[in-house]
Amino acid sequence: MNRTVLYIVFSLCISAGCLKAEDGSRLWLRAEMTAQAQVKANRESPTITVAVEELKTQWKGAPVQLHIHRNKKLRNLGKDSYIISGDKQAGITIQSGSDIGLLYGAYHLLRLQETQNDNGVLQVEESPAYDLRLLNHWDNLNGTVERGYAGYSIWKWDELPAKISPRYKEYARANASIGINGTVLNNVNASPDILTEDYLQKVKVIADILRPYGIKVYLSVNFSSPKILSGLSGSDPLDTGVQRWWRNKIGEIYRLIPDFGGFLVKANSEGQPGPQDYGRTHADGANMLADALKPYVGIVMWRAFVYNPTPEDRAKQAYQEFIPLDGKFRDNVIVQVKNGPIDFQPREPFSPLFGAMKHTALMPELQITQEYLGFSNHLVFLAPQWKEFFESDTYCNGKGSTVAKTTDGTLFSHPVSAIAGVANIGQDINWCGHHFAQANWYAFGRLAWDHGLTADEIADEWLRMTFTRDEAFVTPVKEMMLDSWGAAVNYMMPLGLHHIFAWDHHYGPEPWCDIPGVRPDWLPRYYHNAGEEGIGFDRTTGGSDAVSQYHAPLKEYFNDIATCPEDLLLWFHHVPWDHPMKNGRTLWDELCYRYDTGVQQVREFQKIWDRMENYIDGDRFRHVQSRLKIHAHDAVWWKDACLLYFQTYSGRPIPYDIERPMHELDDLKKIKLDLRHHN
Ligand code: GCW
C-alpha cells in the first residue's frame, strides 16, 4: 500500500469509530471489549448472560466460574451478596445465592482489573448496606428535567414504546456496575399522565430493558390522579371509590410489569396535592397506597419534604409533621427524608428525623444533581458531603448511633432498608454535563452499596477507570476532588450560612433578594438575618428552638455557642460580628477568610488541572479546563457578592491581606440570569 492509500484507510478507520473518541459517553466503563476470557456458569438466565458477556469480553485473567449456590453462608449474606475467590493465574470463582449477585460480582472483578495493578489472590465477600439503592429522576413527561443540568431527559417518551434509545441499556449497565437496583423514572412533581395506559406501555418497555440488570422501575404518582384521570369527585384516601381506583390501577401496572417496585409520593408539599386536602394525614395517604401495593410486594416511598408558609421555622416542620405519625405507617411504607432539614444546601446538619422516628423505616434522599452546587459548571465531588452525613452521630441510641446505622437496618429493624439519590443524568453526550459530575453518580452507587468506603477510595476507583491509572494524574486530581466540596462551602456559604441563592434558579448569590409578597421562607433574609449586630439564624432554645429536635447531648452541643461546631455556627446561632472564633479571629474576619479560601482553592484546582494536559485526551482535558474557568469566575462572584453585601451590615473592613473585591455591589445586584433552559 502506498502512503496515500494508507492515509485513506487510516482516516476511514477514524471516521468509522475505530479510535473511540473520549467524549465521556462510556463513563467509568471504558475497558476495551476485546478480551476472550473463558467463563462458565452453572445456570442460565438473562442476568447471568449479561455477567458472562461482560467477563468474556473484558476479563484478561484466568477462567471464571459463576456459581449459583444456596449454601448457608450465602443465604446469611443476603440476596445481592457475592463471594469471589481464587487467583488470577489458576482460576476464579464467583458465588452468589442470586443471579444479580453474580452480575455484581462480575463488575467487582472487572473493577479490580481496571483499578489495580496486581490482583493476585482474591478473597472478596460483599453484601450491600441498603436493600434498595435507587435513583430518583426529576424528569418531566415533556422531556425537561427539573434541576437537571445535562440536557433533556434520557427517557424519550414521545418515541416510546416503538423506538428504543440505545441509552436505556447503557444506563442499565452503568447502574448495575455500581449496584443501583431501582429507578424512579419521573419527577416527584408528578404528572398524573404517567398512570395512563399509553404511558404505562412505555414504562413497561423501559422496565423490560432494565430487568436483566437487576433494576426495578418505580413511578412518582400525583395524589390527585383518581380525580384528574377518572373524574372522581376527589382523591380522599378513605373513600372506597378512590381506594378501588388505585387497586385497579395497580393491578393494571403489575399485569404489564410483574416486578414493578412501587410508588414515590410528594404530597402536600410545595403545592402538590395530598391527603391533607381531605383532612387526612400523611399516614392515611401512604397506607391507602401501601394496602393496594401489598399483594404485589410493592412499596410506597413517602417524602417528608414538607413545609408550610407559617411563621414556624422551616427547619422544624418535617419533624413536627412526621413525629406524631411514627408507628402509624404500614410496613411497606418507607418515609424518604432529605439529608438535611431544609433542602440540599451546600452544608446542613442531618435532618433530626433520623434516629427520632424509631418505628418507621426511613430512607435518606441525597441530591446528586447540583441544584445548589453550581449546576454542571462547578467541579464538586459530593462523596465527602455524604460521608459527613452518614457518619453524623444522632445519639438516638447512645454514642455511635450514626445516621447510617439508623437507616441501614443496624439499629432499627424494618422489612427493607433503602436510599435514594436525585439523578444528574441527561441526554448530554457525557451524561452529566460536567465530566466530573459522573463521579457523583458513581459515588452515590458505591456508598449506597457500602457507606463505609472512604471518599478517597471512591475517587481513586473512579479516576482510574474514567481517566488513567497514572499516579502522576491520580494523586493530584484526587486531592482536588476531595477538597472540592469544602471549597464550594467556603465560597458559597461557610460557617453554617444557607439558602442565600438567587431567586428560583439557585445558581448564583443573591443574599439581598427581596420580592414583595413572596413567602418569607423563600427569601435569603429569612435564613441569614444579617443586621448591624450580627448574622445567622437563632435556632437555639432562646430562638426557634430547632435544636430541641435533636437528641441529647447533641441538642446541648448545638445550643451552646461555645460547643456548636463552627461549620454550623450560623445555622444554629445569631452571632455578633465581633464574636471570637476558636482561632482568635472575629466572626467577620473569619467569614472573609473563608470566602477567600474558597476562591484560592478553586484557583489551585485550575493549576492542578492545567498540569494534567499530557496525561489524558485533549477533548476531556479542554472541557474540564473550560468549566474550571467558569468555576473560578463564579467563586469570585460569590465571594464579592456576599462579602460586599454583608459588609453593609458589619461595617468592618475586609482584612487587608486577602484578595480585594473586583466587583461593585450595585453591579452584582443587577445580575439576573435567565436559566429557564436549565429546567
Ligand atoms: O429542592 C427543591 C427544588 C424543587 C424540588 C423540591 C423537592 C422537585 O428546588 O425543584 O422539586 O425541592 O424536592 O420536591
Tell me if the bond preceding 553 is cis, omega within 30° of 0: yes
Alpha-carbon gap, residue 325 to 317, rounded angstroms: 13
What is the pTM for the complete model shown?
0.96
Q: Are 317 and 306 in contact (CB under 8 A)?
A: yes
Alpha helices in 294-359 (DSSP H): 314-322
Q: What residues does each domain of the chain span?
A: 22-126, 132-172+180-368+407-424, 489-537+574-669
Provide the pLDDT for residue 119. 63
- Among the listed residues 496, 559, 537, the one whose alpha carbon sits nearest the alpha carbon of residue 349: 496
State which ligand 1 atom lies nearest to the alpha carbon of 344.
1
Q: What is the mean pLDDT of residues 363-373?
A: 98
The beta-strand segments (E) located in 260-374 are: 262-265, 299-303, 333-338, 361-367
Tell me if the bond preceding 161 is cis, omega within 30° of 0: yes
pLDDT band, residue 19 (cuts 50/70/90): very low
189 lines ligand 1 (CB under 6 A): yes
Alpha-carbon gap, residue 221 to 266, rounded angstroms: 8
Active site residue 510: no
Q: Does domain 489-537+574-669 have CATH number 3.90.1150.10?
A: no
Active site residue 514: no
Please give the distance of CA 129 from its chain centroid, rounded to a whole number. 16
pLDDT at 286 over 90: yes
Provide the pLDDT for residue 14. 42
Count of Cβ atoms closer than 10 Å to residue 294 Cβ: 16
Provide the pLDDT for residue 76. 80
Instruction: Measure 421 CA to ligand 1 centroid, in angstroms.
Output: 13
Cell numbers placing 515 = 420580592
145 lines ligand 1 (CB under 6 A): no
Instruction: Measure 646 CA to ligand 1 centroid, in angstroms.
Output: 28
- Which are the contacts of 314, defined by CB distance < 8 A and separation ≥ 6? 307, 341, 342, 521, 526
The pairing of strands 121-126 and 82-87 is antiparallel
Alpha-carbon gap, residue 135 to 132, rounded angstroms: 10
Alpha-carbon gap, residue 207 to 47, rounded angstroms: 14
What's the fold here for domain 132-172+180-368+407-424? Answer: TIM Barrel (3.20.20)
Each residue's pLDDT tens digit, 199-247: 999 999 999 999 999 999 999 999 999 999 999 999 999 999 999 999 9
Count of Cβ atoms closer than 10 Å to residue 68 Cβ: 18
Instruction: Measure 344 CA to ligand 1 centroid, in angstroms.
Output: 9
Determine what percent of the chain is predicted with pLDDT higher than 90.
92
What secondary structure letter does DSSP report for 295? Answer: G
Q: For residue 182, what is the enclosing H or E element?
A: strand 182-184
Count of Cβ atoms closer than 10 Å to residue 273 Cβ: 22
Cell numbers placing 67 = 456459581
pLDDT band, residue 676 (cuts 50/70/90): low
- Among the listed residues 221, 288, 297, the one whose alpha carbon sits nearest the alpha carbon of residue 259: 297
Each residue's pLDDT tens digit, 420-471: 999 999 999 999 999 999 999 999 999 999 999 999 999 999 999 999 999 9
- Among the listed residues 322, 446, 290, 436, the one whose alpha carbon sits nearest the alpha carbon of residue 375: 436
Cell numbers placing 176 = 448495575
- Which are the contacts of 620, defined by CB distance < 8 A and separation ≥ 6? 22, 23, 24, 435, 467
Alpha-carbon gap, residue 573 to 497, rounded angstroms: 10
Q: What is the mean pLDDT of residues 565-584?
A: 98
Instruction: Measure 147 CA to ligand 1 centroid, in angstroms.
Output: 8
Q: What is the mean pLDDT of residues 652-664?
A: 98
The pairing of strands 361-367 and 121-126 is unpaired
- Among the listed residues 196, 191, 295, the one whose alpha carbon sits nearest the alpha carbon of residue 251: 295
Provide the pLDDT for residue 204. 98
State which ligand 1 atom lies nearest to the alpha carbon of 365.
13
Sign of CA dihedral 343, 349, 352, 358: positive
Average pLDDT for the chain = 95
Q: What is the mean pLDDT of residues 167-174?
A: 98
Q: Which of 22, 126, 236, 343 is catalytic?
A: 343
344 lines ligand 1 (CB under 6 A): yes
Each residue's pLDDT tens digit, 586-625: 999 999 999 999 999 999 999 999 999 999 999 999 999 9
Residue 533: CA count within 13 A, CB half-sphere = 5
pLDDT at 11 over 80: no
pLDDT band, residue 78 (cuts 50/70/90): confident
Sign of CA dihedral 321, 324, 326, 330: negative
The class level of CATH for 22-126 reads alpha beta
Provide the pLDDT for residue 328. 98
